[in-house]
Amino acid sequence: MKQITTISCKLKVSPEVAKEIEATMEMFAHACQYVDKNSDKKLTNNVAMQALMYGTVREKFQLSAQTTIHAIRRVCSNRKTSITNHIKKELTFAPTSVDYDSRTFSLDTKKWIVSLKLLSKRTKFELLIGNYQRGILKGSKATSAVLTKRKDGTYYINIHVHHIVPEPEPTNKIIGIDLGRTDIASTSEGESWSGKNITSKRNHYSQIRAVLQKKASKGTRSSRKRCRQLQQRLSGKERRFQKHVNHEITTYLVRKAATDKNSIAIEDLTNIRQRTNQQPRSKKERRLSNSWAFYQFRMFLAYKCVLHGVKLILVNPAYTSLTCHKCLHISPTKETTYRKGKNYHCFHCGWKGDADYNGAKNITALGLSVNLPGGPWLSCEVSSLDFVPRQRTIWDILEGYEKPASNQRL
């Protein structure tokens, strides 16, 4: 099985070459915009679009043959995304990136330079990267890349590297992971990552943003500009902090699972924000619940599992925090729920313990029912509650698996 990893590498660009890059990006964006405006909005087929628009675009914008093809493909790709996500806005193409393939891009891992076809000529750039990027790129075959310009004016090349990854081995050992706010992640083996320090830091960032917003609304023009710049820097700092924490936790979990030859099961939290935001909550509670990147956590976990040959199973989160993992009993009413914050006390069998650990054990049982159907993982007491879990694996997602309708029973 193949897995594509994107390596972001900073380029060393002189002011003269920067002008050439800007011109290339502008022509690429204009070509994309021209293709979108002068073709049927429902046309998304690359071959049909290329036959219709290639000659005109190539002559009008003086792009190379492959760059012209990539401009047409980007329009088709963006249209498909708009249709899938039900976006009705007109497509716009900013001059911030250009797509490349093996004919217009090459990587030299001995001198650590890349060669890119710009508007008028092919140009070589030195890569300003560290040992992490070099370790991944060394010995790998890079076949495509995307040249991008960031908001701070720096230029990066996002190199796509193909890896041949091992197929996951069948196993009856599964680690369940419960995601939350008090503890970012808790496993069925008793490990957890506290979110206390994380919440404290996020509250600190929120207070600073509020102060800057207040000053920006009452200050002079220069002070308002300065406050906006500080707000942008603060936003990037908090985003990088979240990304770093998610990377650390997911890397540890996947490496441990690969070493012990375990599979991983997590809750499928798709559309969880839309459901929870319907509940009455304070502004602070809404911010704390919505600001952490749980989807990013899941995506990091997914691609790392693929690279290490670990099977990732997604299970329905319904009742995982309310069910006792010992006796599989659920409180009959909301008023007598067994869970109180971080504590769980089952009135049916008497088990007491950490609520997140209990949820992780239930996720493990659901994962086992997917991995080894027919086993004694869930008793009839749970099935009698008309609870049918919705389960799918990451391999289904990677192979283009389509999610069934919400009213479809599995």
Find all residues with CB under 8 Å of 58, minimum gap 6, and list them.
Answer: 65, 68
Sequential DSSP letters for 288-316? HHHHS-HHHHHHHHHHHHHHHT--EEEE-
3-class DSSP state of 383: helix
Q: What is the pLDDT of residue 405?
A: 44
* Dihedral sign computed on CA atoms, order 181, 182, 187, 188: negative
Return the closest-CA partner of residue 97 out of 49, 144, 55, 156.
Answer: 156
Q: Domain extents for the chain?
A: 2-164, 174-193+253-398
Find all residues with CB under 8 Å of 47, minimum gap 6, and list them.
Answer: none
Q: What is the pLDDT of residue 182?
A: 80
Q: What is the pLDDT of residue 252?
A: 95
Per-10-residue mean pLDDT, the chain, length 410: 86 94 96 95 93 94 93 95 89 94 92 93 94 88 91 93 82 88 87 80 77 76 80 76 89 93 87 57 56 79 90 87 86 78 86 91 87 56 41 43 40
Q: What is the pLDDT of residue 208?
A: 81
Q: What is the pLDDT of residue 5?
A: 86
Q: What is the pLDDT of residue 406?
A: 40
